[in-house]
């Protein structure tokens, strides 16, 4: 029996499970604290979760404008024996209070737009990149007809070639 007691005396002592348990508790606590700090905005954020709208800046007031519709135009395009039609419809963005004056000049606006669009070739009208240039040209012609300072923009609502 003395051999058995000597074997027990030479066996290494059991390791304590306390250090890994403390490490696990600290890791969970630090992970939870980091999540809370990030979620609440203490770290890496503004602190707004989108729920508090009291800190948002109010939207700027829209400028006072009015829209005057342009009578629809149907323009026949004839190139190399092929006849097609352009349907154009738009609105003029005018300074508020000027819409009545611009509306009285709509026959002239239709005339200048009709003349300009009729002078264009079908290739110019079908090119998708030319719409911005055409719009700028038409806006400038309208501004010349109604006078500077009345029309802000030309909005194209329909531009179809059949």
Q: Give the torsion sign (CA, 126, 127, 128, 130).
A: negative
Work out the percent of the chain whose per-residue pLDDT is above 90.
45
* Cα→Cα distances 93→70, 105, 131, Å: 11, 14, 18
Domain with 116 in it: 65-161
107 and 39 part of one domain: no
**Model pTM score:** 0.61
Rounded CA separation 22/95 (Å)? 72
Q: Are residues 106 and 150 in the same domain?
A: yes
Q: Are residues 102 and 153 in the same domain?
A: yes
CB of 129 within 8 A of CB of 104? no
Contacts of 7 (CB under 8 A, 6+ apart): none
* 109 lies in some domain: yes
Q: Is residue 106 part of a domain?
A: yes
Distances from the Cα of 117 to the Cα of 27, 71, 125, 140, angstroms: 73, 14, 9, 14
> Do 103 and 53 fall within a single domain?
no
What digits encode the pLDDT tens for the residues 20-67? 889 989 999 999 888 888 888 888 765 555 555 556 788 888 778 899
């Amino acid at each position: 029996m003395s051999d058995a007691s000597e074997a027990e005396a030479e066996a290494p002592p059991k390791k304590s499970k306390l250090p890994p348990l403390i490490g696990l508790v600290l890791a969970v606590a630090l992970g939870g604290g980091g999540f809370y700090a990030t979620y609440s905005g203490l770290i890496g954020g503004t602190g707004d979760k989108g729920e508090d709208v009291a800190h948002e800046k109010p939207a700027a007031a829209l400028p006072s404008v009015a829209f005057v519709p342009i009578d629809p135009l149907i323009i026949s395009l004839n190139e190399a024996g092929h006849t097609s039609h352009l349907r154009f419809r738009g609105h003029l963005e005018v300074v508020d209070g000027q819409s009545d004056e611009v509306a009285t000049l709509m026959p002239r606006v239709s005339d200048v737009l009709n003349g300009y669009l009729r002078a264009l070739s079908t290739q110019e009208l079908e090119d998708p990149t030319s719409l911005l240039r055409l719009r700028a040209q038409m806006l400038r012609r309208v501004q010349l007809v109604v006078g500077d300072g009345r029309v802000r923009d030309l909005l194209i609502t329909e531009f179809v070639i059949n």
